[in-house]
């Protein structure tokens, strides 16, 4: 009886221990499951934040590049503010990426930002030159230029040619050439008359003053006068943008996190 009671007590104690162990084990499994789920949720939130930041950065960089190409079409008094606002938005977007990482993507984002910074250095001067070239083009002879006897059309054509090749002109002769260029522009009809409403594609006296100031210091003239289709490939912007997108896609593919958000296109 005593032995049976002892075994019965041990069995009861063992049953209690098993029950307690099962309870503790169950709690641990539950805690680990909750912890694992929380870690997954944190990872998903991080990836979603990253995808949003990547998209914002791409939009900001595209908007900046677009305004660089279109700056000559914007009213002269508004150009500096428009360029500044796009540049600040891009800088802010790039700063957000640095916080979220990863480094392999941030490195390419900073390369895009550096390309944009280089474009920003000559964007305002380029807008002055390109708007003048477009205004002169509009004053070309609409018919056969070889047989045209309109002096204004001839002035517009020669002034346009001088502007395009301005960077190649001899530095010692440039002051005299600058006076000649001004005379040609005034004779081309591309300059608005004093007091007359300013039409689209017509230069003002302020535009002419800015143009002559830029032409007086023709640094990187090839960048200032080149058409977008020739200049854009030389800036390296599209290549760096493509490298950034590729880095994002590689990161998502390698980490198996593609479902956390859409990669920027």
Look at residue 60 and tell me whether its pLDDT is greater than 90: yes
Look at residue 76 and tell me whether its pLDDT is greater than 80: yes
As a whole number, mean pLDDT of residues 230-255 equals 88
| pLDDT at residue 229 in the model | 83
CB neighbours of residue 136 within 10 Å: 26
| pLDDT at residue 265 in the model | 56
203-234: per-residue pLDDT in tens? 999 999 999 999 998 888 988 998 888 888 88
Using DSSP, state whether 264 is helix, strand or coil.
Answer: coil
DSSP string, 38-102: HHHHHHHHHHHHHHHHHHHHHHHHHHHHHHHHHGGGS-HHHHHHHHHHHHHHHHHHHHHHHHH--
Q: 2 lies in a domain?
A: no
68 token code pair: 């660089």
141 φ, ψ (degrees, to nearest 5):
-65, 130
DSSP string, 136-159: HHTTS-SS-GGG---HHHHHHHHH
Residues 6+ positions from 78 with CB-CB distance below 8 Å: none
| pLDDT at residue 197 in the model | 43
Q: 88 lies in a domain?
A: yes
CB of 127 within 8 A of CB of 79? yes
87-121: per-residue pLDDT in tens? 999 999 999 888 887 899 999 999 999 999 999 99
CB of 192 within 8 A of CB of 198? yes
As a whole number, mean pLDDT of residues 16-25 equals 47
| pLDDT band per the 50, 70, 90 thresholds, residue 149 | confident
| pLDDT band per the 50, 70, 90 thresholds, residue 262 | very low
26-59: per-residue pLDDT in tens? 555 554 555 566 665 667 777 788 888 999 999 9
The strand pairing partners of 191, in sequence order, are: 203
CA dist 59 and 67 (Å) reads 12
Q: 136 lies in a domain?
A: yes
- Residue percentage of the chain with pLDDT more than 90: 48
Q: 137 lies in a domain?
A: yes
Look at residue 159 and tell me whether its pLDDT is greater than 90: yes
State which residues form the domain around 108.
49-256
187-204: per-residue pLDDT in tens? 999 988 654 444 567 899
Q: How many domains are contained in the chain?
A: 1
203 φ, ψ (degrees, to nearest 5):
-85, 145
Look at residue 16 and tell me whether its pLDDT is greater than 90: no
Q: 28 lies in a domain?
A: no
Q: 133 lies in a domain?
A: yes
Q: 213 lies in a domain?
A: yes
CA dist 66 and 166 (Å) reads 26
Q: 64 lies in a domain?
A: yes
Describe the crossing of helices 228-235 and 103-137 by its angle, rounded to 10 degrees: 160
CA dist 241 and 114 (Å) reads 11
């Amino acid at each position: 009886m005593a032995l049976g009671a002892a075994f019965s007590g041990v069995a009861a104690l063992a049953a209690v221990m098993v029950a307690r162990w099962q309870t503790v084990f169950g709690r641990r499994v539950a805690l680990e499951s909750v912890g694992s789920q929380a870690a997954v949720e944190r990872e998903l939130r991080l990836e979603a934040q990253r995808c949003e930041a990547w998209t914002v950065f791409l939009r900001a960089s595209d908007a900046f590049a677009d305004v660089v190409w279109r700056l000559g079409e914007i009213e002269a008094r508004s150009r500096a503010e428009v360029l500044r606002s796009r540049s600040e938005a891009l800088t802010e977007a790039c700063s957000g990426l640095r916080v979220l990482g990863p480094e392999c993507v941030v490195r390419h984002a900073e390369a895009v930002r550096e390309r944009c910074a280089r474009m920003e250095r000559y964007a305002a001067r380029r807008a002055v030159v390109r708007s003048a070239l477009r205004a002169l083009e509009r004053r070309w002879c609409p018919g056969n230029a070889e047989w045209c006897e309109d002096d204004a059309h001839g002035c517009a054509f020669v002034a346009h040619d001088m502007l395009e090749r301005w960077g190649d002109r001899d530095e010692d002769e440039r002051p005299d050439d600058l006076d000649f260029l001004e005379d040609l522009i005034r004779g081309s009809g591309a300059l608005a008359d004093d007091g007359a409403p300013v039409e689209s594609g017509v230069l003002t006296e302020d535009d002419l003053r800015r143009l002559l100031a830029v032409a007086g210091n023709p640094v990187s003239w090839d960048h200032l006068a080149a058409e977008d289709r020739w200049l854009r490939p030389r800036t390296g912007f599209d290549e760096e943008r493509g490298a950034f997108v590729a880095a994002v896609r590689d990161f998502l593919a390698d980490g198996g996190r593609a479902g956390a958000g859409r990669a920027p296109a």
